[in-house]
Amino acid sequence: MPPHVIITDVTFDDLFAWLPDLVTHAHHELALHPRRPQPFAMLPYKVPMHELFIFARYLATWYIGIYETLPDTSPPFGTPLMLIAGNLQDAAPVPGELTLGLWRDRRFPLDLAEIAWLLEERFPSRPAPASPLAHFVRPGDLKGAGQLRHRMDADAVAHRSPADGVPPPFTADIASAARRPAGAMIPSTAWLVDQISLQPDAFDAEPLYQEWMERYQVHAGLYPRDSARSFERALDSAYKHLGRTRRRRPSE
């Protein structure tokens, strides 16, 4: 079954009316994280079945989504950024429940776990077998306004394969995070320390940014709220840990 969430007592119209809110969330995150994907448009759309690939028509009974370009003669299927598939065909029907399949293109600013989290935050829900939130705290589990936190079991992570969706280089970081005492260096910053130790005093740190972001997200469960500023702070912490003075290149 594709990644999905299960929501209750919600109609098709409720979900379609929610899509502008999802677009608002995406714009808000783009303002905080300028390195997220930036499509030139995000348009809510009720997707007619004939505008989908044949196999998609067999997966669900209806679709809504957010498009960068609406379907036209070219390309015939438009440019979907995110699709929500309603009433997945291989889900056992339960009165009052909707099983929603989730798909997103890499150009959409929010990832699948964030979309699932926002859906469960907005609508009544119950845990789904193949939820993108399977390894994360769900909205109903949060206490107060605390940050979404990763809750992978360290022993299970150590045995995951690439097919499970967790790159092997990150597993040691996650396992060590589970054992790390309060106040210790987080795995993404520790990784920066290792990388910087191999570099001269003045070097371009920008190539380290993307992998640092991915490592941060795997550890914390979310990307940092201000990714550019957080990266700069992590670099400063790494240099301080190494006992070196950060000498920036002239272009920085």
The candidate with the shortest Cα–Cα distance to 186, out of 156, 150, 143, is: 150
Q: Domain range holding 50? A: 4-141
Q: Which of 104, 119, 141 is the last residue of a domain?
A: 141
Claim to verify: residue 52 and residue 117 sit in the same structural domain: yes
Q: What is the pLDDT of residues 90-115, one digit of tens each?
A: 666 677 888 898 999 999 999 999 99
Claim to verify: residue 118 and residue 31 sit in the same structural domain: yes
Claim to verify: residue 131 and residue 205 sit in the same structural domain: no
Q: What sign results for the dihedral spanned by CA atoms 57, 59, 61, 63?
A: negative
Range 9-36 burial, b when 16+ CB lie within 10 A, else e: ebeeeebbebbeebbebbeebbeebeeb
Residue 93 lies in a domain: yes
d(CA 171, CA 26): 29
* CA distances (Å), origin 205, targets 33, 35, 170, 208, 211: 18, 15, 20, 6, 11
d(CA 92, CA 162): 29
Residue 146 lies in a domain: no
Claim to verify: residue 180 and residue 212 sit in the same structural domain: yes
Stretches where the chain sits below pLDDT 50 are 143-183, 250-251
pLDDT at site 73:
57
pLDDT at site 167:
39
Claim to verify: residue 18 and residue 129 sit in the same structural domain: yes
For 159, the token pair is 């045995």
Q: Which of 107, 141, 175 is the last residue of a domain?
A: 141
Claim to verify: residue 104 and residue 20 sit in the same structural domain: yes
Claim to verify: residue 21 and residue 64 sit in the same structural domain: yes
Q: Which of 106, 141, 176 is the last residue of a domain?
A: 141
User: If DSSP codes are grouped into helix, strand and coil, which group holds residue 128?
Assistant: coil
- Number of C-beta neighbours around residue 215 at 10 A: 22
Residue 82 lies in a domain: yes
Residue 178 lies in a domain: yes
pLDDT at site 142:
61
Q: How many domains does the chain have?
A: 2
Angle, in degrees to the nearest 10, between helices 187-197 and 209-220: 150
pLDDT at site 188:
85
Claim to verify: residue 200 and residue 231 sit in the same structural domain: yes
Claim to verify: residue 20 and residue 109 sit in the same structural domain: yes
Q: What's this model's pTM, rounded to 2 decimal places? A: 0.55
For 244, the token pair is 């070196």
Claim to verify: residue 107 and residue 174 sit in the same structural domain: no
Claim to verify: residue 168 and residue 122 sit in the same structural domain: no
Claim to verify: residue 126 and residue 169 sit in the same structural domain: no
